[in-house]
Chains A and B, each alone.
Chain A
Amino acid sequence: MKINRFWSWLALFFGILYFALPLIGTLEFSLRMRRGEYSLDAYRVVLGDPRFQATFSYSVAMAVATIIVGVLLVVPTAYWVQLKLRRWRPIIEFITLLPLVIPPIVIVFGYIRLYNTSSFLPLTGSAWGTNLLLMFGYVVLALPYMYRAVDTGLRAIDVRTLTEAAESLGAGWLTIMTRVILPNVLVAVLSGAFLTFAIVIGEFVLAALLNRPAFGPYLQLVGANRAYEPAALAVIAFSITWVCMGLIQLVTRFQKHTFAKR
């Protein structure tokens, strides 16, 4: 028993080392911009760069738009599949998994081919059209995570009976969705939303090939030309992801109607 525990701890130790060492190394390197001492100079430079502010706010705006469209698309779809189209579930699941097996580069080339200026829907002909295209691209990339999160949330409640109960009390579809279904899968939706946020903030391929001023291409640009700033940017990007993960945990814990008081 004791030996087993020793090996478990050893495996855990190496696991932590495997994940933490590169991060610690990156963090340490990002602090060494000033010769001979640790400083936050690299962070100061990065955060003071107008391009950082522009690209970061652009990506945040795209992430928010992606989340809104993703929720509006995924929640009703997953709800409808759960309620009426159970036989379609494998097909829908397969579709939602496609972005994991089709590389973003293929998706974006498809977009450029389909929506170029000489196509029936010339989205790439204008900045807002390209933004729209990028946002839909992000929705597709986030689909596996968003759908899975929402579907898991919906499976945890008796969607059909709750819907019928609300219907028998006079509620229409909008009331059922907003006051019965959504509040009960809110944690799942938020989990999906935070995952989407983390994906969009760091995404490179779609934004670079559609030539949009997003955070991902900026990260690559700085990485190619500077020494310490890319390390600082990497730490910032990691921190954003971690904050998102932490928020998922937090909202799960604060959903008072699901768990007994501690």
Chain B
Amino acid sequence: MAYLEINDLQKDFAGLRVVKNFNLSVERGEFISFLGPSGCGKTTTLRMIAGFEAPSSGMIRIDGRDVVDLKPNQRNIGMVFQAYALFPNMTVDQNVAFGLKVAGRPKAEIDATVKEMLGLIKLDHLGSRYPFQLSGGQQQRVALARALAIKPKVLLLDEPLSALDAKIRVSLREEIRAIQNKLGITTIYVTHDQEEALSMSDRIVVMNEGRAEQIGAPFDIYNRPATRFVASFVGTLNLLRAVVADPTHGMVEIGRAKIDLGRQLPERKAGDPISVALRPEAVSLAAADGRSARLEGKVRDVSFLGSVIRVNVDVGGDRISLDTFNTPSTPPPVVGETAAVNFAPEDVLILDA
């Protein structure tokens, strides 16, 4: 049995179902991200795990125990909030010690744990400061230490980096992942930032309109999106209109060009309209090894971004965006000239039209 088990979880707000038939099994020590746009139900699901929202139906089991009827303070869950939520009247030490004091732990144990946790987040020299004397990044690290101090069964993080600037975000997400790996704590991380989810998670749950659209490893989510939504939400995607020409031989027509995908399309039939999706990094202007498929188009737009040049090519009315490295010896493409877009057939994603 999984360490955290969520079955058929649903939540209604004023007649509106915001979480629909949500199922998830999380193994002990796993790092799971809930990724999705605003209002997709990811935070509501997290809050139901924490006990701040009561599910309309469904089951949440942690370490074999059904927790749906337990109050938040009985669930032994560590929570980190977007707004830090440090207690302003307490010093860093007192904040980290709060949960342990509430649990009535002996003073020696509390002191040792506080020291250990502050060492973990590398803020052991700031124990006597008040939250208002810390930067946003420092406050969030203290919030993390406070949540970890009670040795929770599950650590929940609700968009913890959203309020921080870009540079701190990157360094802190690496720190969070390193601490999570070190402690081996089961973690659920809510974010709308795909880069965060892709870089930190063991598995990602992509959510849309209250549903888990796809659950999988970052590599699978990115390279084998199950739905059109996942494909378009995670990463940049070039979508081209196409028609199935021969499903048994994997032939599709994009404009006037016929492309051999090299795989069967068993769920399609000839004449079905489909969308062909290509990641920008799967496309190049120059023919490369394995990139045997080729489409002709016209260069519409060229943006010079320093080390990279972004080129937009019009292929039969659809636009393909691709990045090429800026090599001083090769001049960039010129707007209006004809260009060949090369890609490997196995990199093509087939989506519903």
Contact = CB atoms under 8 A, between A and B. Distances in A.
Interface stretch (A13-21, A53-61, A166-174): A166-174
A184 interface: yes
A168 B87 contact: no
A172 B51 CA distance: 14
B132 interface: yes
B102 A169 contact: yes
A95 to B, nearest CB: 26
A260 B71 contact: no
Interface string B36-55: 00000000000000111000
B133 A168 contact: no
A225 interface: no
A5 interface: no
A126 interface: no
A87 interface: no
Contacts of B90: 257
Contacts of B50: 164, 168
Which of A167, A169, A180, A184 has the most CB atoms of chain B within a 10 A radius of its CB? A169
Given A165-B79, A169-B98, A170-B102, A260 B133 contact: yes
Contact of A184 (B88, B150, B156): B88
Interface in A194-234: none
B156 to A, nearest CB: 8
A169 B90 CA distance: 15
Contacts of B86: 165
Given A164-B52, A256-B130, A258-B88, A170 B150 contact: yes
Contacts of A180: 87, 89
Contact of B83 (A161, A168, A169, A184): A161
A157 interface: yes
Contacts of A179: 98
A168 B89 contact: no
B223 interface: no
Contacts of B79: 164-165, 168
A154 to B, nearest CB: 13
B133 A169 contact: no
Interface in A217-261: 256-258, 260
A175 interface: yes
B73 A172 contact: yes
A162 B98 CA distance: 12
Contact of A257 (B77, B88, B146): B88
Given A161-B81, A258-B132, A260-B133, A168 B88 contact: no
A183 interface: yes
Contact of B89 (A161, A164, A257): A257
B218 to A, nearest CB: 27
A158 B82 CA distance: 12
Which of B77, B86, B89 has the most CB atoms of chain A within a 10 A radius of its CB? B89
A168 B132 contact: no
B147 interface: yes
| Size class of the contact patch on chain B | 20 to 34
Which of B72, B74, B131 has the most CB atoms of chain A within a 10 A radius of its CB? B72
Contacts of A166: 87, 98
A161 B85 contact: yes
Secondary structure of the A side of the interface?
Answer: helix
Given A183-B89, A257-B88, A260-B132, A167 B72 contact: yes
| Size class of the contact patch on chain A | 20 to 34
Contact of B147 (A167, A168, A256): A168
A141 to B, nearest CB: 30
Contacts of A257: 88-90, 130-132
A260 B132 CA distance: 8
Contacts of B232: none
Nearest to A171: B102
Given A164-B72, A167-B72, A170-B76, A184 B103 contact: no
B286 to A, nearest CB: 53
B99 interface: yes
Given A168-B77, A170-B150, A171-B73, A184 B87 contact: yes
Which of B74, B76, B79, B88 has the most CB atoms of chain A within a 10 A radius of its CB? B88
Contacts of B103: 170
B87 A175 contact: no
Given A162-B87, A165-B87, A258-B88, A175 B133 contact: no
Contacts of A184: 87-89
B297 interface: no
Nearest to A165: B85
B78 interface: yes
A168 B72 contact: yes
Nearest to A256: B130
Contacts of A162: 85, 87
Give the 7 A-B residue pairs with the shortest CB-CB distance, closest first.
Answer: A169-B99, A165-B85, A168-B79, A183-B89, A167-B72, A161-B85, A170-B102
Given A171-B73, A171-B102, 19 more contacts: A161-B83, A162-B87, A164-B50, A164-B72, A164-B81, A164-B85, A165-B87, A165-B146, A166-B98, A167-B72, A168-B77, A169-B78, A169-B98, A170-B76, A170-B99, A170-B103, A184-B87, A184-B89, A257-B90
27 contacts: A157-B88, A158-B85, A161-B81, A162-B85, A164-B50, A164-B52, A164-B81, A164-B85, A165-B81, A168-B73, A168-B79, A169-B73, A169-B150, A170-B73, A170-B76, A170-B99, A170-B102, A171-B98, A171-B102, A172-B73, A175-B102, A180-B89, A183-B89, A184-B87, A256-B130, A257-B90, A258-B88
